[in-house]
Amino acid sequence: MSTTFHCPEAPSRYVRRPCSSPGLGLACREGDRCGYCDDGFEEDVETDAPSVNMSGVNASAVLSALGLLEFGDVSYGRIEHARVPDALRRILRLLNTDGAVEAHARPASEDVGAMGARSFDLGEDGDDFADRVRRLQAVLVYAADSGYSVAWD
Ligand SMILES: [Zn+2]
C-alpha cells in the first residue's frame, strides 16, 4: 500500500500518446494490437502540480510526526487551503527541533519468521524521513501559493 499527497484542485489534462508496448517487447501494430491500449494509443493524466508518493508505513510516520492525522487517517485525508499554512508551520517546527528528525531513524534489523524465513530491514537514518517531510512541504507550498487544498489517498 502506498499513499500519494497531491493537490486535487490543480488542473490536469488528458494526454494521448502512442502505445508504449512495443518498447516493452510486446507487439502492437496495425491489425495486431497489444490489448492494453486504445488502437495504438494510451491515455494518461498529466499535471504540473507537485505530488509525493510514499509507502503507507512512511506516510503514517510523517502524518503522525506532524500531527496531521486530525485531517484524516493514513488512507485518506484532506487539508483545506485555509489550514495549509498551519501544516507548513508544523513542518518548519519539526525540521528545526533538535533531535525530532533523528527520532525517526530505524536501525537495520534481521528477523527470522516462524517458518524459518529470514527478512531483512535495511533501516534508514533520519535523513530519509526528513527528505519525505521536505517533499510533502513542496506540495504544501505549491498549494499555499496556488489556492489549493492538499489531499492524500
Ligand atoms: Zn498497444
Domain count, the chain: 1
Domain hosting 50: range is: 2-147
Positive or negative, the Cα torsion across 60, 1, 51, 8? negative
Indicate whether 54 belongs to any domain.
Answer: yes
Rounded distance from Cα 13 to ligand 1 centre (Å) = 21
Rg (CA), the chain: 20
Which residues have C-beta within 8 Å of that of residue 78, sequence separation ≥ 6?
Answer: 8, 71, 72, 149, 150, 151, 152
Q: Is 128 domain-assigned?
A: yes
Distance 24 CA to ligand 1 centre (A): 10
Structural domain contains residue 131: yes
pLDDT at 24: 75
Q: How far is the CA of 18 from the centre of ligand 1 (A)?
A: 8
62 in a domain, yes or no? yes
Three-class SS state of 71: helix
pLDDT value, residue 69 = 93
pLDDT for the residue 125: 81
Domain-located, residue 66? yes
Centre of ligand 1 from the C-alpha of residue 11, in Å: 27
CB atoms within 10 A of CB 51: 17
Q: Is residue 153 part of a domain?
A: no
Does residue 152 fall inside a structural domain? no
Output the CA–CA distances (angstroms, integers) from residue 24 to 34, 36, 75, in the order listed: 11, 12, 32
Q: Which of 51, 41, 50, 32 is nearest to 14 (CA)?
A: 41
What's the 44 CA to ligand 1 centre distance in angstroms?
14
From first to last of its 153 residues, the chain has per-residue pLDDT tens of 899 999 999 999 999 999 988 777 788 999 999 988 999 999 988 999 999 999 988 999 999 999 999 999 989 999 999 999 999 999 999 999 998 888 888 778 888 887 888 887 777 788 899 999 999 999 999 999 999 999 999
**Residue 44, domain member (yes or no):** yes
